[in-house]
Chains A and B, each alone.
Chain A
């Protein structure tokens, strides 16, 4: 009756599984998708970023990171830190306020939502009466002033958001003493800005959108000064000593106003249109920073001449005669200036400008001449060119690590040396267990090397393959260098550049050998480059070979893109990875698989037409094999991306619709009824949903046949030293798996090292396995006599792995999208299988061998398969018995690009893209866990704060 016992109920194994496997999403790397708000606390030296999906992320010193998510998933409109507190308030686009605080819990700080609140007007009042437009956290830390669309300012008490009705500042009260003629011309309209007096906490400056600005005395509840602006107001900023303030306007002008006790209705000191005289765009935010040498820094966003530069996203910095308009490649969300926040300091002395653009964070060093950019240690723009593939390498040897860093530092000389200015909090996470590299391939032909060891994904080095080729758009950077009298003085900053010169340059596959420093990359137009790490600049010729994968196939015409043109003669390469061999596949279809064996000095590559093997020592093509089925016309004709691009363009147009809806919601134009817009949006959503439900969805049930398209598409390539022909002699071999369920095995003869250059490498086909279920082969692996996967090339030579067992019999594991199968070697007979799809209806998307260590005992570890399915589940399957150990839901099954982007590491971690610009890091292991762990302490409260506290208490006392 043993056969009736269901497996998987062995209590010992169950306990061991708990010690080995655990699923956690640990940290999000990269740049938040669709940021919508920025906040900064000079007290905590922490920065906060809010997003359109309701996420809020706090960043301080490298490694200090917090993340929170609003339940509503609504756009975060504003973020305000409570002065001198570990608290912040967020305003969402549903007009709700949320109080978050950083609290210490079991030794580390955590970000938690404490309270939420929605301002309610009296019954019957329009929603605009309580639509919040401006938020001022008072320095007393006890109240928030909330400016609204109706022009009224409500006061709520923290932390419970109790409305203090008797302290509401109504627009009627404000307008009482405004001159008749001004009042008639324009009513108050919505509150655009609220600013507390820098020296006197009892005075606040109120700016209304139509231009009226008043100074309000909180003690006596009355207006002390009127400033009658004539232009639509955008923002306000106090000068440090409180004697002047500056207002900026919709017409691209800014105005300075004096504040003195003798004139209650002063005229402006200065009114300037910096980029006039032609009509300019609005200046939406302005800073006035005083310095020791007397010349202020005036920093403002926008204001460009409407006709010729209206499309630029700029922030201008003016300091005496120096003026630069920093030109960003994406929309500026918000910015702030880091300046001396010591209350006793006499001047602002700004040190850095931090700009949150839609696609990247840019920090400008304002202290160093030339205002260079600062290299951010986190929030890297992963998507500065779209990510096309990724490759992870664990446990990098120190030597290689240092050489990559040194190559990268030579690329970063134009960055400022300023230490990272946002340095709040303390990172208390243990040092990362090992040095890990994440390599991302990009659409523009670059490969970026990221330090993925810890919480901060940091760019170490950037490699460009473009130099090898002749492209239409040759580096011609004259567009950005500006002449002396260029006006406006634009300067491009940032790295985000989504436009690729030539899509054929895109990187599709990467393989790095960490022991030898050999790197192979392959791209969209069938190009395969083998590179070597060189610490010096060098100029050399790249050896060039062509691999005709169609061989004798006649009568086919490739209708896709042409192959890339190569440069003749020597090419100059900067220090770092320098290509020495280029193989171009013919037809130039996208490279779909790549393998490099650094010990045998061989590189194998496959496309939709076949695969080839290249000897990069002798620089000779060893063989090619065409895998095409004669009836597979589609593969011959053009690039595979056709289907994909249609899907992509659909997705983009959807995104566009959504974006336009979001922006329409954001526009709170004069008299615009927000709730109406929202209602319309809701209706639109519902309609779209219904439409989708009505569409008849049906699926064809048909067995796969050899005639299906793309059966020849080479999905996987694998080198192994194993028993291919007989059980007495092992030999090097190359394995290839196709989309049609075929596995080819080639026996290789690699000459011994001393005759390596003299004798050719030979290859001979030894086996061909046709899986009857014909599902695409996504993984091939050979297990040694101890059922351990064969080590990587050179791993044994570097004493990092036990040499494989060559005595016992080897086994071959073939993973298709539907099944896992173990075969014996050298005689191929099937031994075991796991029919995943037949049982569960899911298909294998990614598979990787991972080593799992027990968290209880140091000496136990085992190898398992980490599998990602098309449903976004992660499964761990044991080796060699193919038993399902555990399953975790990880990625939404609709998130096709997330699933496609997933990479596993060798130690049970993984990464996948949650947006074009963010990797989510997850861990399957109990032992290897990289997650932020940090602490934020309240800095000492300075004497000035006690004054605030006192006045706050006085306020409270008076109230009662």
Chain B
């Protein structure tokens, strides 16, 4: 259901009043709902108190898009960075069905008006000595802020202990994204970049890979400090410590590479300005039937991501039937917000 109504921007009032207004407008006086809005980055953020309600209104540009979900069947994971543009990956659903179906989400608290800047991911498939860190550069002004160097590490191989060349984090810039997460530290060994193993690659190659992925960087490290590792109570006794690193299941990197590639598609939208008009994100062309025959693997992932989006459980009141593209429209011809984002060069 879609409703359009106006608010006084200068006097938004209190959240309670607004909540009531919504119930009134939608004629659902006794239904508990979750309220969210899309910010300038296309992220779905919650409205549940006065502060974030005021923030939401102030970002209206001039339209404010509000999403309302019934509380019983709400999907809390819908909130956060990239939520509006991310196409959930069917592949990840297939590989890790428990992600969405079996485990109910443990809600600790509602996310406030913030976005994640980093996360530890894939804890369940990685050895305990490794850590896979995702840095969300998109949407923050902070520099990534770290340096890498060449080095050597000791590995367990069939021929005994061997010294092999490796890539290490050499410096964290104070105030940078990497340092602020607390998940990366100097002398951590970099093992993978977005699912691709770095062994055998030169420092320059790894640098280029990281920069190429800088908008959504996922690095797998072996922390120099192994004391803060996540300890899982299953199989810890058998395969803990150093012994795990040499027995890393060989299939894991490949699978995770696919997942990561898929996820990564989300924030790679190029921008087009037609006839000196308004900048828009470039939509993906729907695959035509003739080219389906010979699509590359990457394209298959496009398709799957699109399919994966449709059955999403969000109750989208702003329902646009069958439309795949979740491009956001800049209704205000003033491009100020985009300039801040640094996406358009205006001279």
Which A positions have Cβ atoms within 8 angstroms of B? 2-3, 6-7, 626, 628-630, 696-707, 711, 725, 740, 742, 765-773, 775, 818-819, 821, 823-824, 828-835, 837-843, 870-871, 881-883, 893
Contact indicator A833/B301 (Cβ below 8 Å): no
Q: How large is the interface on B (under 10, 10 to 19, 20 to 34, 35 or more residues)?
A: 35 or more
Contact indicator B272/A768 (Cβ below 8 Å): yes
Decide: A701 near B345, CB < 8 A? Known: A823-B282, A832-B298, A839-B196. Answer: no
**How far is the CB of A711 from the nearest CB of chain B, in Å?**
7
* B208 CB contact (under 8 Å) in A629, A697, A833, A837: A837
Q: Does chain A have a CB within 8 A of B203?
A: yes
Scan residues 205-244 of chain B and give those whose CB is less than 8 A from a CB of chain A: 205-215, 217
A-B contact pairs, 9 of them (CB 8 A): A698-B149, A768-B272, A768-B273, A773-B268, A823-B282, A833-B298, A838-B194, A843-B208, A883-B296
* B294 CB contact (under 8 Å) in A703, A775, A881: A881
Given contacts A7-B297, A828-B274, 6 further A-B pairs with CB under 8 A are: A697-B149, A699-B206, A770-B272, A772-B270, A838-B209, A838-B213
Q: Does chain A have a CB within 8 A of B48?
A: no
Decide: A706 near B209, CB < 8 A? Known: A829-B284, A834-B298. Answer: no
Decide: A841 near B206, CB < 8 A? Known: A701-B144, A765-B275. Answer: yes
CA distance A829 to B147 in the complex (A): 36
Contact indicator A769/B146 (Cβ below 8 Å): no
Contact indicator B212/A765 (Cβ below 8 Å): no
* A628 CB contact (under 8 Å) in B276, B285, B347: B347
What residues of chain A lie closer than 8 Å to B150, measured between beta carbons?
697
**Chain A residue with the shortest CB-CB distance to B286:** A829
Contact indicator B285/A703 (Cβ below 8 Å): no
Contact indicator B203/A702 (Cβ below 8 Å): no
A-B pairs, 9 with minimum CB distance: A841-B205, A703-B214, A837-B212, A699-B207, A841-B209, A829-B285, A768-B273, A698-B149, A838-B212
What residues of chain A lie closer than 8 Å to B211, measured between beta carbons?
701-704, 837
Contact indicator B145/A702 (Cβ below 8 Å): yes
What residues of chain A lie closer than 8 Å to B343, measured between beta carbons?
706, 770, 772
**Chain A residue with the shortest CB-CB distance to B287:** A831
**Chain B residue with the shortest CB-CB distance to A884:** B296
CA distance A266 to B212 in the complex (A): 82
What residues of chain A lie closer than 8 Å to B170, measured between beta carbons?
696, 698
**How far is the CB of B268 from the nearest CB of chain A, in Å?**
6
Scan residues 311-326 of chain B and give those whose CB is less than 8 A from a CB of chain A: none
* B299 CB contact (under 8 Å) in A629, A705, A832: A832
Contact indicator A703/B271 (Cβ below 8 Å): no
Q: Does chain A have a CB within 8 A of B164?
A: no
Contact indicator B146/A701 (Cβ below 8 Å): yes
Contact indicator B298/A830 (Cβ below 8 Å): no
Q: Does chain A have a CB within 8 A of B304?
A: yes
**How far is the CB of B107 from the nearest CB of chain A, in Å?**
33
Contact indicator A3/B269 (Cβ below 8 Å): no
CA distance A773 to B150 in the complex (A): 25
What residues of chain A lie closer than 8 Å to B143, measured between beta carbons?
702-703
What residues of chain B lie closer than 8 Å to A828, measured between beta carbons?
272, 274, 282
CA distance A613 to B175 in the complex (A): 46
Contact indicator A767/B298 (Cβ below 8 Å): no
CA distance A737 to B294 in the complex (A): 29
What residues of chain B lie closer than 8 Å to A3, measured between beta carbons?
91, 297, 300-301, 304
Contact indicator A701/B149 (Cβ below 8 Å): no
What residues of chain B lie closer than 8 Å to A766, measured between beta carbons?
274-275
**How far is the CB of A709 from the nearest CB of chain B, in Å?**
14
Most buried by A among B149, B284, B285: B285
Decide: A629 near B345, CB < 8 A? Known: A701-B207, A837-B208. Answer: yes
CA distance A819 to B265 in the complex (A): 13
CA distance A843 to B204 in the complex (A): 10
Contact indicator B345/A770 (Cβ below 8 Å): yes
Contact indicator A767/B274 (Cβ below 8 Å): yes
Contact indicator A703/B268 (Cβ below 8 Å): no
CA distance A616 to B196 in the complex (A): 51
**How far is the CB of A814 from the nearest CB of chain B, in Å?**
9
Contact indicator B147/A626 (Cβ below 8 Å): no
Scan residues 240-288 of chain B and give those whose CB is less than 8 A from a CB of chain A: 264, 267-276, 279, 282-285
What residues of chain B lie closer than 8 Å to A7, measured between beta carbons?
296-297
**Chain B residue with the shortest CB-CB distance to A842:** B205
CA distance A837 to B149 in the complex (A): 19
Contact indicator A711/B345 (Cβ below 8 Å): yes
Q: Does chain A have a CB within 8 A of B41?
A: no
Contact indicator B205/A835 (Cβ below 8 Å): no
What residues of chain B lie closer than 8 Å to A705, measured between beta carbons?
342
CA distance A158 to B313 in the complex (A): 88
What residues of chain A lie closer than 8 Å to B342, measured between beta carbons?
705-707
CA distance A704 to B347 in the complex (A): 19
Contact indicator B148/A701 (Cβ below 8 Å): yes
What residues of chain A lie closer than 8 Å to B294, measured between beta carbons?
881
Decide: A772 near B268, CB < 8 A? Known: A697-B150, A701-B147, A742-B345. Answer: yes
Contact indicator A773/B201 (Cβ below 8 Å): no
Scan residues 188-208 of chain B and give those whose CB is less than 8 A from a CB of chain A: 194, 196, 198, 201-208
CA distance A953 to B194 in the complex (A): 75
What residues of chain B lie closer than 8 Å to A773, measured between beta carbons?
212, 215, 268
CA distance A823 to B171 in the complex (A): 39
**How far is the CB of B220 from the nearest CB of chain A, in Å?**
15
What residues of chain A lie closer than 8 Å to B147, measured between beta carbons?
698-701
Contact indicator B270/A771 (Cβ below 8 Å): yes
What residues of chain B lie closer than 8 Å to A775, measured between beta carbons?
212
What residues of chain A lie closer than 8 Å to B344, measured between beta carbons?
770
What residues of chain A lie closer than 8 Å to B91, measured between beta carbons?
3
What residues of chain B lie closer than 8 Å to A626, measured between beta carbons?
347
Most buried by A among B203, B209, B276: B209
Contact indicator A834/B212 (Cβ below 8 Å): no
CA distance A765 to B209 in the complex (A): 34
CA distance A742 to B212 in the complex (A): 16
Q: Does chain A have a CB within 8 A of B137?
A: yes
**How far is the CB of A860 from the nearest CB of chain B, in Å?**
17
Decide: A829 near B194, CB < 8 A? Known: A703-B144, A704-B214, A770-B345. Answer: no
CA distance A832 to B264 in the complex (A): 15
